[in-house]
Structure 1
Amino acid sequence: MLTIWGRENSNNVKKVLWCAAELRLNFTHINAGGTYGKTDEETFRSLNPNGLVPLLQDNDLALWESNTIVRYLAAKFGQHPFYANDPLVRAQAEKWMDWQISTIVVPFRTVFVGIVRTQPEQRDMGKIEAAITELEQHFTILEQTLAGQPYLSGDVFGIGDIPLGSFIYAWFEMPIKRQPRPHMERWYQRLCARPAYQSTVMTPLT
């Protein structure tokens, strides 16, 4: 039995819910974190000592770290090409999962918290604009890649699209000035056409 812990408005939780929806998995969802609490309770901490969401329970397994959970679900329940059989093809997709964590998360968090969760009069626009500039530099790499392939995973949608795809919804929905990136925008529109993306990622920004 699968259980996913985490509040639905968390970008990291969205990754896991989206992946589970794409795989059409049956699972129990428990809202936790933020205003829902629970993450400081002994039961939750015994499963994830970090006290963070998302958390996946699969029978006796308790697994944390959003990208690791996505990999696990894809490996256990997915099929080719969503989870590629060829290690080379799979690695080309998975590198974008690590790139999202290592390169995108910090400046993205600055922009998201500053724009979505901070009142206008309290925003540090200098810090926000610097983070947007940094993200735009990184997204040049994304644009160049997507000029030659429709998805980050390659010719078809796969796990490499999920981590960044979960964040990119907010990037395009936030009221900020963005550089025109036609290939990145077409990729985003392909994601928006997916029912699983619509139901798990395309929710109000809070």
Structure 2
Amino acid sequence: MLEIWGRRTSSNVQALMWCVGELGLDYVRHDAGHIYGGTDTEAFFELNPNRTIPVLRDEGGPALWETGAVLRYLAERYASPPFWPEDPAERAGVDKWAEWAKLNVAMQFTSPVFWRVVRTPENQRDPAAIAAALELLNAKLVIAEQVLESNRWICGADFTLADIQFGHVLYRYFDIDIERPDWQSLRRYTDQLMARPAFREHVAISYEELRSSLP
């Protein structure tokens, strides 16, 4: 059984849990981070000296951290093609888009946009900084928009690990109060994600506990 540390409102934890759900794996998850605390303990330091979430331990094995590495571990051990191809070139193609999504979409959305819109008090928000961050993010999203004009999923006809790295932030991207281009393909793609039970269970959930309570 998998043992996972991390609160369900963390976008990185959501990516991991969505993958776990898609693969149908048994797990126990411990809330950690943000309002749940726990990451400042010596026990957690032994799991992850960075004190970040998520952390995963499989069948009592060594603690694994860094979301991308954990996702690849799960895919390598438990998944089958086409989710995680056996052919090295095909697998690299999936991994390429997974890395692209992590660096150019997830990281460009979560702190630069989501934190500034949702986790910052309204009277402390910086509209110019938000607009600039959205401009950078949308310059990358247009790449996905164009790919999805002819592809059902980000790597082609099949759902893969790359869709988890890319798609796990789209629920929040389309839900928060920001200006967005009239994405047609990305909207269709997100609707497809919403049709997946594991996405609805682990990703399309409330993030109200993350909103700033300050006036």
8 Å CA contact 2:84–2:94 kept in 1: the answer is no
Deviation at 1:102, TM superposition (A): 2.3
**Which amino acid counterpart does residue 34 of structure 1 have in structure 2?**
H
* Contact kept? 2:33, 2:53, Cα under 8 Å: yes
Matched, 1:171 2:170: no
- The equivalent of 1:14 in structure 2 is 14
Count how many residue pairs are aligned between Structure 1 and Structure 2: 206
The percent identity for this pair of structures is 38
Contact 1:93 1:154 in 2 (8 A): no
Partners of 1:194 and 1:102 in 2: CA distance: 24
| Stretches of structure 2 lacking an aligned partner (at least 5 in a row) | 211-215
Kept in 1, the 8 Å contact 2:101–2:162? The answer is no
Q: Which moved more, 1:86-95 or 1:114-123?
A: 86-95
Q: Is 1:122 the counterpart of 2:107 in the alignment?
A: no
Q: Any conservation in 1 of the 2:83–2:161 contact (CA below 8 Å)?
A: yes
Per-residue deviation, 1:200: 0.2
Q: Residue 155 of structure 2 corresponds to which residue in structure 1?
A: 153
State the SS of the aligned residue for 1:22. Answer: helix
Deviation at 1:61, TM superposition (A): 1.8
Superposed CA RMSD in Å reads: 1.2
2:27 aligned partner: 27
Q: 1:35 to 1:27 in 2, by over 3 A?
A: same
Question: Matched residue of 1:4: which SS?
Answer: strand
The offset of 1:185, in angstroms, is: 1.2
Deviation at 1:158, TM superposition (A): 1.1
Q: Secondary structure at the match of 1:3?
A: strand
Aligned to 2:102: 101
Q: Which residue of 2 aligns with 1:183?
A: 185
Shift of 1:103: 2.1
**What residue in structure 1 maps to residue 63 of structure 2?**
62
**Equivalent AA in structure 2 for residue 93 of structure 1:** V
Q: What SS class does the counterpart of residue 63 from structure 2 fall into?
A: strand
Residue of structure 2 in register with 1:5 after alignment:
5
When the two structures are superposed, what TM-score results if normalisation uses the length of structure 2? 0.92
Structure 1 letter corresponding to 2:17: L
Task: Find the residue that maps to 1:61 and give its secondary structure.
Answer: coil
Task: Provide the C-alpha distance between the structure 1 equivalents of 2:23 and 2:89, rounded to a whole number of angstroms.
Answer: 22
Provide the C-alpha distance between the structure 1 equivalents of 2:202 and 2:173, rounded to a whole number of angstroms: 16
How many Å apart are 1:12 and its aligned residue?
A: 0.5
**d(CA) in 2 for partners of 1:149, 1:128:** 30
* Residues 153 and 159 in structure 1, CA contact (< 8 A), matched pair in contact too: no
